[in-house]
Structure 1
Amino acid sequence: MTTESTSAPVGFIGLGNMGAPIARRLLEWPGGLTVCDVRAEVTEPFVAAGARSVTDPAQVATHARIICITVIDDAQVTEVLTGPAGILRTAAPGTVVAVHSTISDRTAQELAARCAEHGVEFVDAPVSGGAPGATQGRLAVMLGGSAAAVDLIRAPFGCFADLIVHAGPVGAGTRMKLARNLLHFISFTAATEGQRLAEAAGISLTALGKVVRHSDAVTGGPGAIMLRDTTAPIEPDDFWFSILGHVRDLGEKDLSLALELGDRLDVDLPLAQLAVARLAEGLGVAHPALDKETP
């Protein structure tokens, strides 16, 4: 680890619900912290804790060589970078700009090209873990950018993240985050479907929630099956064939029982119907492949 990577001054733009707890973890960063937000009052606790506060992104870039951006959307990120008082007006060549906001991967690539014109490195760096993860320093960060830029930001990012993944070139971090959040919100939708079934069956929803959180903490939840390098069908002699075949059998059995219960209680379960139809193929152990192995 180079001296630069452990002492580079850091700037942070956007101290909202997610940005503030991340930035607080950087208050003791040896290179110092400069903060900026359109609401001057939210910077006051940071100043009291020893950070520098400035009024616009261009001023951040005069003090920082690693700049984190946590604002709302693509338009705000673009303004922070390229606007009249944007980072690129003053950023020195070699500055690394990391965007924690979840934006379009195309926007990330377009902004990286703009940054490159100024000798500035752009990294899309969306996070997963929410404000509690940020507060605890346990975020996962998915990085899209050059190896050199990623190496420079690993040390300061270690203040707020305990998992840092270099997903690939610019845009890859965002694409990983979108895939992760697709799973996240489909799971939420599945949770609402499970709640409807439980409610119709006279089951306590809060008790069910306790069981789900408890068992997912033990088993890893949906991430427990995400251990292969490919989604291709699994060959019968592959290590995962019997394991995921067993998962398929259990899943199809339990989904069928849940669907039968839903039919009796007149509860529509469209996600369960999709799941029972697609589970085997999604796991890579579709029925024809398994049936060939059945005596």
Structure 2
Amino acid sequence: MSRQTHDQLAAARRATEAAAATLELGMAEAPALSPRARSSPAVPAAPAAPAAPSSLTHERVIELAVARSPAVAAMLHRARALAATGRAEAALPPAELAAEVWNLPAARPYALGDAEMFMLELRQRWPAAGARDALAQAMAEESAMALAEAAAEREAVAQRASDAYIAHAQARAERALLASQLDVLQRMVLAQGARVTSGGATLSERPRLELEQSKLRRARLRAEEELASAAAELRALLRLSADASLGDLPPLASETVAEVAPEALAEVLARTAAHRGAAQGRGGT
């Protein structure tokens, strides 16, 4: 490639990148997740590229991916179940009410006045000291562990969603940039052909320009493959169909999985301590 052609291509590349410098792929306002996500460079897009859908933002993709993750939902439900079990284990057994009728004539079961004795009994079982609060403590510890697992899974899902969003945005911007460069190169081919026709240039430059065109076309195909792969990953994370548009993300469901508040575990531990103290007081008397 001649020096003049090389300079023209370099100038076209710089002009395209300068015109698209305002596109930062949403990374400036994206939540910090990991060094790999933070260090991913923002790839500028060409002016001719269509703008990213307004609904496809970094924060929204992460929010939807976490909210729709079956693994995160299952772990949170398990933590809630363990916390509820811990509260049940910390409480005393329910009281039991029994009624007995003695020597009621079988021939006249309705003649309650002929019965010899009526007896009402209220029973309350008092477990051994430390028996129930140990079970409640174990349930509380398991619930806390389930919460930690859910938090780790949520972070992993958020990281995958962030990586997929960045890869999708980079591939889209790279494809647009390559398309702009191909357009510039095509105009250069036409200009060189006009110069040859007018006798101002030879055909020696034409093969080099066509070679550059083929290289850019292959690069654009690779960018389109990367874009399709990233889009498929986003659809899988967002639980969308294979032909769903990423520019029309549905809103979050009104019902979200309620997390286990730390107060619930604290309530379990407080109940076990109170019951332990009551049991020790009864034992002392």
Taking structure 1 as the reference length, what is the TM-score of the superposition? Answer: 0.22
Larger radius of gyration: 2
Identify, as 1 or 2, the structure richer in strand: 1
Q: Which has the higher contact order (CA 8 A, sep 6+)?
A: 2
Identify, as 1 or 2, the structure richer in helix: 2
